[in-house]
Structure 1
Amino acid sequence: MIFSTITIWAALALLAGALMPMQSGVNSTLAQNSEGAIWASFISFVVGTLSLFIVAVLTRQEWPAMASLKQAPWWAWTGGLMGAVFVATSAFLAPRLGAATMMALFVAGQLTMSLMLDHFGWATFPQHSINLWRVLGVVMLFCGVLLIRFN
C-alpha cells in the first residue's frame, strides 16, 4: 500500500487545519454583511448542522440512544459551546489580526492546551507526560507567533 493509515489521517488533519483560516475569513465576510460576528456564527452553525444532518441521513447513521447520551459526563456536552466561541472569535479577529497572526495564536493556544490534555490524559486522550522537549516545542511556537506578528 502506498499510503499508510497514519499518512491518510495526517493528510486529513492538514486539510482540516487548512480550512480553519478559510472558515474564519468566510465567517468574517458574513459578519460584515449580517450585523456582526454572533449572527454570522449562528448562521454558520445552522448551515453546519443542516449539512451534518443530511450526511447522517444519506449515510444511514443510527440515531444515538438516549440512554447512552445520558451517560456522558456533563463536560462532554460543552463541545458546541467551545465551537461557538471559536467561530465567533475567529469571525471577529480575522479582519483585525490577519489570517497568519490569528492562526499562529490559535495554534499556540491549541498546543498549550494539548500539552495539558496529554499530560493528564483527559477527555479520552492517551496520557503523555510533559517533558522538556514538548515544552521547548511550545516555546518555539510562541517565538514563531512573535516572528509572524512583528515581522
Structure 2
Amino acid sequence: MKLLWLLTALVAGMMAPVQAGFNGKMGRAIGDPVYAALISFFVGTLGLLAYGLFLRMDFTAVRQAAGIEWWVWLAGLLGAFYVTSVIILTPRLGATLTFSLVVAGQLLMAVALDHYGLLGVPVQSISWLRILGIALITAGVVLIRKF
C-alpha cells in the first residue's frame, strides 16, 4: 500500500507542470493570470463536487470546519497564491526552472515543518543528510538556471 502512496505522490508531482502549462495557456488566452487561476479553481471545485456526489459524501460534515482555527482557512489563499504564481512564472522562467525553485522552496519549508513538528506533522529532526539533499536540489536549480 505504501508503494501506491509513493506512486500517487510522484504522479501528483508530474501533473503540476502540466497544470502550469494548461493554466499558462488559459492566462495567455484571456490576458489575465489571476482570472486564469480563478477559472482553474472553479473547474477544480466542480470536479471535487462531482467526485463527492459520486461517492455520496456526507456534505454536512463541512459544518465541523467552523470550529477550527481561523488561520487554517488561509490554505485556500495559499493555494491561490501558488497557482497564480506558477501561471505567471512558467512562461517567463520555463517549466524546469519554475518547478526546480518550487521544489526547493517546498523542501525548505518541509524540513522546518518536520523539525519543529508544526501543523501536526510528525517530528523528524534536521540532519546533515537532509541539509545535503536540499543543497543538492539548490545546486540543481543553479545548473538549470545556468544551462
TM-score (structure 2 length as normaliser): 0.96
TM superposition score normalised by structure 1: 0.93
Once the two structures are overlaid, the 10-residue window that deviates more, 111-120 or 70-79, is: 70-79
Q: Would you tell me which structure has more helix in proportion to its own residues?
A: 2
Q: CA deviation at 1:71?
A: 2.4
Structure 2 runs not aligned, ≥5 long: none
Task: Find 2:120's aligned residue among 110, 121, 124.
Answer: 124
Q: Which of 79, 86, 89 in structure 2 is aligned with 1:90?
A: 86
The whole-number CA distance in structure 2 between the counterparts of 1:51 and 1:65 is 17
Q: Structure 1: any 5+ residue segments left out of the alignment?
A: none
Letter in 1 for 2:68: A
**1:145 aligns to what?**
141
SS in 1 for 2:119: coil
The structure 2 residue matched to 1:14, chosen from 10, 35, 46, is 10
For the residue of structure 2 that corresponds to 1:129, the secondary structure is: coil
The DSSP-based 3-state class of the residue aligned with 1:143 is helix
1:59 correspondence with 2:59 = no
Equivalent in 30, 35, 53 of residue 34 of structure 1: 30
Aligned pair count?
Answer: 146
Distance 2:30 2:119 in 1: 35
Whole-Å separation in 1 of the counterparts to 2:17 and 2:62:
35
3-state secondary structure, aligned to 1:33: helix
Distance of 1:100 and 1:91 partners within structure 2: 14
Aligned-pair identity (%): 38
